Structure 1
Amino acid sequence: MKKYNLLAFTSLVLLLTNCAGDKKNLFSIDDSKFKLIYHQNDNVSLLVKNKKDKTIDSVVYFNGEKRIGSVKGNTAFNYSLKEQKLGYQSLKAVIYFEGDSTKTEESRIELVSHIEPKLLDYTILNTYPHDIKAYTQGLEFHKDTLFEGTGNGAGNGTGLRGVSSLRKTDYKTGKVLKKVELGVDYFGEGITVLNNKVYQLTWLNNEGYVYNADTFKKEKTFKYFKKMEGWGLTNDGKNLYQSDGTERITLLNPETFQEVDFINVYTANNKIKAVNELEWIDGKIYANIYQMDALAIIDPKSGAVEAVIDLSKLKSKVTQHPDVDVLNGIAYNPKTKTIFVTGKNWDKMFEIKINH
């Protein structure tokens, strides 16, 4: 009797599973005419494939979890991409048919910027000394003092890993005025200063720190809102902006460290991965792109790359040694209205002016 009940139950589960599977496979979004990439001024025509010629009452379309529109029957739905975030759009549909309903599998399109980035030139105004042992991860001016965050990378040709730090420096002489070191198990990353507090990320420890900008006394340790890598950090006077080594920049509440919003960084052709050190300059995000020795100027609302500055020639102007690494570190001095850039284990820092 028990065996019979078990077999009956198993058969019922299989029957229900097969019915659900059959229902789920009745429909799909017709992606046969989808383009490889879309731009923000494009529309995409959405239509459902009706594999068994069921009588469809209506279709409701979604982008992720957001409802974007509906149609009676199975007529085409014209979806404008004008206000959508750059990046992948996860399109789904709920189909109502013959007194029943089901949801389609996700169908994905990629939305890129409609802006062709300008290639900008620059002029070197001054060259200053920089600590060759500083594996620069973050750079920012505050009260005419240069703040720098470093990781525990190799330095000065020794092949030995140093200790991550947060430091204040005299940018004209390269002298370190104040420094606090992280433990050997913590790889320091991007920094920014907001409301006289210094925020510093770590690479793999999934946490960051808040210091008093004057004393460097640690006031708080905060956890990232999800499992992620810490790379670059900046602020717009209200929110923090954090990069994580992908094309994504996340807006964070500086009190709760929870996500407020995000952007994906794109050109007119593709996403820009490995967005690294960040700096807020005149309403735009300037970002180092890891391994590219270039800066991208990014619209913080859309994520579109508006311009690119090729700084690859600067690396040839620093002392060449086994541990010299990529360009990383960008700081805007509001007093001089100029930009300061350096790199990991570079012995020089350059004051530049962008030629727009």
Structure 2
Amino acid sequence: MKKHNLLYVILLGITFSNCGGKKKGENSIFSFDSGQFATHYLPQENLDLGILNPKAKEIDSIVYYVNDIKAGTTKGNSKLPFELKNQKLGYQYLKALVYFEGENAEATARIELVSDVTPKLLKYKVINTYPHDTGAFTEGLEFYKDTLYESTGLKGKSFLRKYDYKTGKVYKQIDLDAQYFGEGTTILNDKIYLLTYQEKTGFIYNANTMKLEKTFSFDKDIEGWGMTNDGKNIYQSDGTEKIWTTNPETLKQISYINVYSGTSKIKAINELEWINGKFYVNVWQKDAIAVVNPNNGAVGGILDLSGLRKSLSNTITIEDVLNGIAYNPKTKTIFVTGKNWDKLFEITVSE
């Protein structure tokens, strides 16, 4: 088995995509020449945008759009070359607005842009092991001012706490109302942001006092999963292959990337951590972390942490998956754990 195929097996949360070039909502006059589209496209490739004109209409001009952004205009029925190198991975939605004989009509199609990066298999070394509360169904994990914060899930058992990771001593804990299933958390500008699972509700706390300052509703019809930040924007996952960029002031989702490993989407993205300009992400139900390029969604590295389970002293179930990534800038090490695990592992990572 080739090395890159082994990496795909590690991240078996992948879903193989259908062929690109499916027609979508096309009219009876013009259509994209979808038969000329490849199954997948790579970022270094170009796409020739052109339409079929079976009724031999006299075309004045065509305005082409990619993802609702104008790509260019052609005279008559000439093709428009389009470079894919600056596009984010995932489906690219194509539209042609055709002007002909005093009228206009649209044609639509889509193609799929996939990653040209072969992920590297990363190594890790456990340098310390600390106690972890077996009653903590871990959803979010983050350091702030050398203090570890953790959010947990399950209705009636969800809480947010900050504690001494070396001893497990809890400094302060906030229990969520029983109607909420707690999810990911992140801390930015002395504010703690906390998501809930399917309640489409989030909370903002003061990071020093942990007093609730605001409750907000999700901007999109999505689930709440993982959360992190880069010092400016907040990022959150929703259980799909998407990582959303969120404005911390308006709490509105600005945009998203799709996570791909080769030609495959990596679905069920869960806990997130921003480390040295990359996303480190848990894949739900997989004992692995994917390292993701935030610019386009390409997986550049995979960290197989399945060996950590052997170090646990308590008995865990199928629900008690690896989840929780926290980078400590003071020690420049990464802390990982899982739902209801009895240990918190401090590790270093290398190629």
**TM-score, normalised via structure 1 length:** 0.88
Q: Does 1:172 align with 2:174?
A: no
d(CA) in 1 for partners of 2:335, 2:33: 51
- Structure 1 residue runs of 5 or longer lacking an equivalent are 1-22, 153-160
Q: Does 1:59 align with 2:54?
A: no
- Give aligned-pair identity as a percent: 55
Q: Does 1:269 align with 2:263?
A: yes
Aligned to 1:88: 91
2:349 counterpart (335, 343, 354): 354
Which moves more between the two structures, 318-327 or 135-144?
Answer: 318-327
C-alpha distance after superposition, 1:95-145 (max 9, x if no partner): 1112221111x2111111221111101111111110001000000011111
Q: Does 1:332 align with 2:298?
A: no
Aligned to 2:137: 135
1:113 counterpart (112, 115, 127): 115
C-alpha distance after superposition, 1:301-351 (max 9, x if no partner): 222211110111112221224476110000011111100000001111111
Query: Over the residues paired in the alignment, what is the CA RMSD in angstroms?
Result: 1.4
Query: Which of structures 1 and 2 has the bigger CA Rg?
Result: 1
Aligned length: 325
Which moves more between the two structures, 111-120 or 132-141?
Answer: 111-120
Aligned to 1:25: 28
C-alpha distance after superposition, 1:162-215 (max 9, x if no partner): 510000121112222211000111000000111111110000111110111111
- Give the SS at the match of 2:61: strand
2:39 counterpart (36, 41, 46): 36
Deviation at 1:261, TM superposition (A): 2.7
Aligned to 1:222: 216
d(CA) in 2 for partners of 1:66, 1:334: 39
1:163 counterpart (151, 157, 160): 157
Amino acid of the residue matched to residue 197 of structure 1?
Answer: K
d(CA) in 1 for partners of 2:227, 2:247: 13
Say if 1:136 and 1:149, in contact at 8 Å, map to a contact too: yes
Amino acid of the residue matched to residue 150 of structure 2?
Answer: E
Say if 2:185 and 2:226, in contact at 8 Å, map to a contact too: yes
Say if 2:43 and 2:115, in contact at 8 Å, map to a contact too: yes
Which moves more between the two structures, 242-251 or 168-177?
Answer: 168-177
Say if 2:156 and 2:180, in contact at 8 Å, map to a contact too: no
Amino acid of the residue matched to residue 184 of structure 1?
Answer: A
Aligned to 1:187: 181
d(CA) in 2 for partners of 1:323, 1:116: 30
d(CA) in 2 for partners of 1:210, 1:238: 16
